[in-house]
């Protein structure tokens, strides 16, 4: 029976070819003839049977909401062009952040209230200790806010370095600021530390451009960072952030300044609101604090996913809604590098 099927299948293709030639049509290609004859015809000719098409594997799902947002930024964000829906989303996120930053700069410098420029300069000198002999007392609420803004840059330094290292790279060239002995090799164009350093003086106004141009690192950064990355005097802060001491100090300072503002009293809050309507310093600093608070949850989640923190599904949402104190406590609770190992 099998021999009969092979003969029938073997004769099917030549018969069809002769019929096509009779009506003036070209003979089918060998692969088409073999495919039409089927596996039985291929076996009759001593040829291997045509392979069945392999099904396409579905794309692996994203690890989480932060991974999905990071993938969108990677496809179309500051690191390079992307395509499709994710690329458009990445460009939209980057464009929105840059537009937000430009709008904030224009508002602070041209539209924010500026009725007390002399008092603003005096308040800064008083808060940094240059006018201690003067009996004038700075508003308690704003003093707590001003000092709290000294903690946020330290928090962002621990969140962005190294967890948010950017994937943006370029070859060494005449316009490459990193050109030197290693010219011609890939060099990062967007390190986080200049923006973090500038945030000590400018707060979120210095961090937003980095966030807009940031592209997730590929392959992902190893977290917690290996002990070798924490060696050297220039990594001293990173090493301290991987212990419980520095995050504990940040959390204590955050709790103190929040308590100071919360217990300042109704009159102090009334005076603060009046300063907010008159002083550019108070106005811009208050907006800065709000921006740092709103942007922190994303970078906390990004760091928590990289460190595979088991409590990120339960504790992280709670910490994300606590201004200043929440990010400080996260740095205290997150998995850390074992710096005590030899």
Consecutive 10-residue averages of pLDDT for the chain (342 residues): 48 56 58 52 56 53 51 49 58 92 96 94 91 86 97 96 68 35 48 93 95 84 86 89 95 98 97 97 97 96 94 94 97 88 58
Confirm if 316 and 236 have CB atoms less than 8 A apart.
no
Sign of the Cα pseudo-torsion (190, 191, 195, 196, in order):
positive
pLDDT at 190: 78
Q: Which two tokens stand for residue 151?
A: 């903690």
pLDDT at 191: 87
| Contacts with 251 (C-beta within 8 Å, 6 or more apart), sequence order | 325, 328, 329, 331, 332
56 vs 72: CA distance, rounded Å: 23
Sign of the Cα pseudo-torsion (295, 300, 305, 307, in order):
positive
| Contacts with 54 (C-beta within 8 Å, 6 or more apart), sequence order | none
As to burial, measured by CB atoms within 10 angstroms (0-12 exposed, 13-18 middle, 19+ buried), residue 279 is buried
Pairing between strand 187-188 and 169-170? Answer: antiparallel
């Amino acid at each position: 029976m099998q021999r009969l099927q092979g003969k029938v299948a073997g004769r099917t293709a030549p018969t069809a070819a002769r019929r096509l030639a009779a009506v003036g049509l070209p003979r089918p290609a060998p692969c088409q003839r073999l495919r039409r004859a089927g596996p039985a015809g291929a076996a009759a000719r001593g040829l291997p049977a045509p392979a069945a098409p392999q099904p396409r594997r579905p794309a692996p799902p994203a690890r989480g909401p932060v991974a999905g947002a990071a993938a969108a930024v990677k496809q179309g964000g500051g690191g390079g062009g992307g395509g499709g829906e994710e690329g458009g989303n990445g460009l939209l996120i980057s464009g929105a952040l840059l537009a937000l930053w430009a709008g904030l700069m224009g508002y602070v410098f041209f539209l924010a209230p500026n009725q007390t420029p002399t008092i603003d300069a005096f308040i800064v000198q008083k808060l940094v200790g240059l006018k201690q002999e003067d009996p004038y007392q700075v508003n308690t609420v704003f003093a707590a806010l001003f000092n709290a803004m000294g903690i946020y840059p330290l928090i962002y330094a621990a969140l962005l370095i190294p967890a948010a290292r950017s994937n943006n790279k370029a070859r060494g060239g005449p316009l490459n600021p990193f050109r030197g002995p290693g010219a011609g090799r890939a060099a990062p164009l967007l390190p986080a530390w200049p923006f973090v350093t500038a945030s000590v003086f400018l707060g979120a106004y210095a961090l937003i451009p980095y966030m807009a141009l940031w592209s997730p690192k590929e392959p992902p950064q190893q977290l917690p960072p290996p002990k070798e990355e924490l060696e050297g005097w220039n990594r001293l802060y990173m090493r301290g952030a991987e212990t419980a001491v520095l995050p504990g100090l940040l959390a204590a300072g955050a709790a103190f300044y929040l308590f100071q503002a919360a217990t300042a009293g109704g009159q102090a809050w009334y005076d603060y609101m009046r300063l907010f309507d008159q002083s550019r310093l108070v106005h811009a600093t208050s907006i800065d604090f709000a921006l740092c608070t709103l942007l922190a949850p994303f970078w906390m989640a990004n760091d928590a996913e990289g460190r595979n923190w088991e409590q990120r599904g339960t504790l992280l949402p709670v910490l994300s809604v606590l201004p200043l104190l929440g990010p400080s406590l996260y740095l205290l609770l997150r998995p850390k590098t074992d710096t005590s190992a030899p």
